[in-house]
Structure 1
Amino acid sequence: MTARVGLAGELLVGEWVHHQFGYPPETTWRSAYRRTRFPEDGDDRLGYDFLVTTPDKRLLIEVKATTDAVPEIALGESEVRRAQALAEDEEYLIAFVVHAHALDPARRRLHILPNPLAAGGFEYYRVAGSSMRIQFQLTAG
């Protein structure tokens, strides 16, 4: 079910990108889910699912889809790294898709969220939970 929800979310965002910017999904979709519609492989290691190039900037859009109405997401390692390492002409956005009633297309909702790792980005969010997992290197001696 999770894969179906994720794919449905990315299909919706592909339609939104096409409507907003005029670029069809075959030119902007980068995730591995693109294999379901196009012959070229996608790459889930990029840290984003869609890349939209405008005259002013490059938009990197990460899709998060859920059937829950809970406004909460988790960012994976590649997503965190990419959201932190932006060039001056890049903007990282999160497209949050809520499938309120399973996969009913008429009840899907799309919300565009700012980059939580950009300067001031955490003003829109709060940390859910009480811990953060981090790894580090120990020095000898």
Structure 2
Amino acid sequence: MVMAAGVLTGVLDGTGMVDAISQWLVRIIPDSMGPHLPLITGLLSLPMTFFMSNDAFYFGVLPVLTETASTYGVAPAEMARASVIGQPFHLQSPLVPALLLLVSLSKVNLGDHHKLALWRAAAVSLVMLTVAVLTTAIPFG
């Protein structure tokens, strides 16, 4: 898996795709929204890491967002901190094998589990994002 992630990162970076997509994003993102990319990334990390694997998000999407944010003076570390905000929500994803095992062993229906857990995981992620913005770990703009 690590090798595959390295290959994906190498292909995206080595072929210039990250730069090309980033330049396209810079053209379509209004200048006033550019400095808010860490906050936007924090919000996007909830659904994106739920519906796609961590590898796809962190090795495919995040490099593009980080390169785009650098155009607006946002540091890569700020983007990295913003990207992990969605992890409590990601851990409820059916793409996480441990969740499927735990739900199966406890004989709980995945849908029932999601009804009880998803809103709580989203709330935890949003509280984390709020605290990160208030403490300036993630800049607001």
Question: Structure 2 length as normaliser, TM-score?
Answer: 0.27
Q: Which has the larger share of strand?
A: 1
Q: Which has the larger share of helix?
A: 2
Question: Structure 1 length as normaliser, TM-score?
Answer: 0.27
Which one scores higher on RCO, CA 8 angstroms, separation ≥ 6? 2
